[in-house]
Amino acid sequence: MAAKKPASDQTMEKLISLCKRRGFIFQSSEIYGGLASCWDYGPLGVELKNNLHQLWWHEMTRRHENIVGIDAAILMRPEVWKASGHVDGFVDPLVDCKECKSRFREDQLPEDANGKCPSCGGELTEPRSFNLMFKTHMGPMEDTASEIYIRPETAQGIYVNYLNVQASARLQVPFGIAQVGKAFRNEIKPGNFIFRTCEFEQMEMQYFVKPGTDEEEMEAWKEKRMAYYKRLGIREDHLRLHEHGPGELAHYARSAWDVEYKFPFGWQEVEGIHNRTDFDIQRHIEHSGKKMEYIDSGRGERFVPYIIETSSGLNRSLLVFLCDAYREDEIDGEQRVLLAFHPKVAPIKAAILPLVKKDGIPDIARSLFEELSENWNCFYDQAGAIGRRYRRMDEVGTPYCITIDYETKDDQAVTIRDRDTLEQQRIPLSGVKAWLAERL
């Protein structure tokens, strides 16, 4: 008899299956056997990603008059990555199993590995450095002169542009620059679905402050970022802050904290909040030879600002919301699977369900669908029994199902069903849009 898989493995398998079945996430290049840890986002995955992107952008820029955005190029001069330390220092210790040929990061091996492969028990090679940056060539000749890097992070595009942004937007310290964009890392051992991939999207905000105020600003941003996840419905007992100890601190950081989430596979980082001091700007001053001081003409001061960074991955955030929303329950003896997304996060906000396909009911439903679609992503479904249609919408996280029935023709009202409570209430047809607006 086969050993029973841990509940955590079963949960991830169920979630991955749901994501493919309902059009959230597909394996990249699947018809050719797939490409390890590369994923394509389907219709609902794109909607969910866009919602999280927009919610983060609103949180970081619209709610702060002193934070603006930028969209820097993916390809940059190689000198940028030399200055940042990525060329020489962005490496992981790699070991190989001599028997099964599996590869591991030496620093992530079990403590009791003792030079043995965790998979087969074979002997491991001596560790060697492995640079995580992807290389490519710019121009017609593939030689060392044309060699450039595909960015491993979005932050450096902010740092080299910080004075351009500050001057053009007429910002005064403290101020922030936010960016959402793709980054690429040649990870030794990616995995856990979309948790760690070679291609990912970062959501970063770099906050420029006066030296001496940095720790105070750090504390404020820790509170703000934790509050953000809680406001969007992430369970508080699945969130925590982890402080980096002396052995964990990056070379550029004075202090660092992670927002961690309790995934089915354990507590893992979702977002990093770092006090990077003036390390990055000073490095670019040294390597570029340019003056990059902030000048406060009103106070007659000039200084290199310290930077408080908040950095999260859009793909990893999406996995947080999927894991946290996944539920299984039972209704009238029938098992139900649902994604209990916060309404603002849900990829489909409302489903319009005509009870029958005749007698003018679909016409009323279509009219309502078109009205609501002007504001939100809605779904129209008239196929199958109403109970089955409810279950389909529960499984993709739609918070509200709106049913149009024969009574609608008489009383000009519809029935709205709540995904989580299953409560149903009758709302005037003319008031549905306002009703949804209050909740979305």
| Residues 354 and 269 reside in one and the same domain | no
- Could you list the residue range(s) of the whole structural domain that residue 159 is in? 23-76+154-322
Sign of CA dihedral 163, 164, 166, 170: positive
For residue 368, what is the domain's CATH number?
3.40.50.800
Do the domain assignments include residue 134? no
**103 inside domain:** no
In a domain, residue 7? The reply is no
Is the same domain home to 303 and 356? no
Which amino acid would we find at residue 95? Answer: V
**289 and 358 part of one domain:** no
Q: Tell me, what's the pLDDT at 298?
A: 85
Helix (H, G, I), strand (E, B), or coil: what is residue 63? coil
- In this model, does residue 6 exceed pLDDT 60? no
Mean pLDDT score of the chain:
93
Q: Which residues contact 33 (CB under 8 A, 6 or more apart)?
A: none
pTM of the predicted protein model: 0.91
> Same domain, yes or no, for 68 and 172?
yes
Quote the tokens at residue 154: 């979005």
pLDDT band at 3 (very low <50, low <70, confident <90, very high): very low
Compute CA 160 distance to the chain's CA centroid, rounded to the nearest angstrom.
24
Q: What is the pLDDT of residues 188-214, one digit of tens each?
A: 777 799 999 999 999 999 999 999 999
* 104: Cα separation from own chain's centroid: 25
Verify that 360 and 407 share a domain, yes or no: yes
Residue that is last in its domain, among 305, 322, 339:
322
Number of domains into which the chain is organized? 2
Residue 356 lies in a domain: yes
State the Cα–Cα distance between residues 325 and 110, nearest whole angstrom: 31
Q: Hunting for tokens 């970081």 — which residue is that?
A: 60
pLDDT, residue 101, reads 82
Whether 125 shows a pLDDT value over 70: the answer reads: yes
Cα–Cα dist 344/61, whole Å: 18
**What is the spatial distance between Cα 343 and Cα 321, in angstroms, rounded to a whole number?**
12
Q: What is the pLDDT of residue 337?
A: 95
Could you tell me where the beta strands, DSSP code E, fall in 18-161?
25-27, 39-41, 67-69, 91-96, 103-105, 128-131, 134-137, 147-150
Q: What is the mean pLDDT of residues 15-41?
A: 95
What is the mean predicted confidence (pLDDT) over 173-182? 98
Q: Report how far residue 191's alpha carbon sits from residue 187's, in angstroms, rounded to the nearest whole number.
A: 9
Q: Is residue 112 part of a domain?
A: no
Which range has highest mean pLDDT (32-41, 94-103, 183-192, 328-337)? Answer: 32-41
Tell me: do 295 and 369 sit in the same domain: no
Do residues 303 and 409 both lie within one domain?
A: no
For residues 97 and 101, give the distance between their C-alpha atoms in angstroms, rounded to a whole number: 5
pLDDT, tens digit, for every residue of 78-113?
999 999 999 887 777 888 888 888 888 888 788 888
Q: What CA–CA distances, in Å, run from 39 to 28, 35, 45?
A: 5, 8, 11
Residue 415 domain-assigned (yes or no)? yes
Tens of pLDDT, residues 265-277? 999 999 999 999 9
Would 9 be classed as within a structural domain? no
Residues 71, 175: one domain?
A: yes
Are residue 56 and residue 159 in the same domain, yes or no?
yes
Considering only CA atoms, which of 284, 336, 281, 324 is closest in space to residue 306?
281
Q: Is the pLDDT of residue 115 over 70?
A: yes
Task: Name the domain boundary from 306, 322, 338.
Answer: 322
The tokens describing 343, both together, are 């309404």
Show which of 287, 305, 322 is a domain's final residue.
Answer: 322
Domain membership of residue 34 (yes or no) is yes
What is the mean predicted confidence (pLDDT) over 405-426? Answer: 95
182 shares its domain with 229: yes
Is the domain of 303 the same as that of 357? Answer: no
Q: Do residues 313 and 355 both lie within one domain?
A: no
Q: What CATH number is associated with residue 249?
A: 3.30.930.10
**Local confidence band at 366 (pLDDT 50, 70, 90 cut-offs):** very high
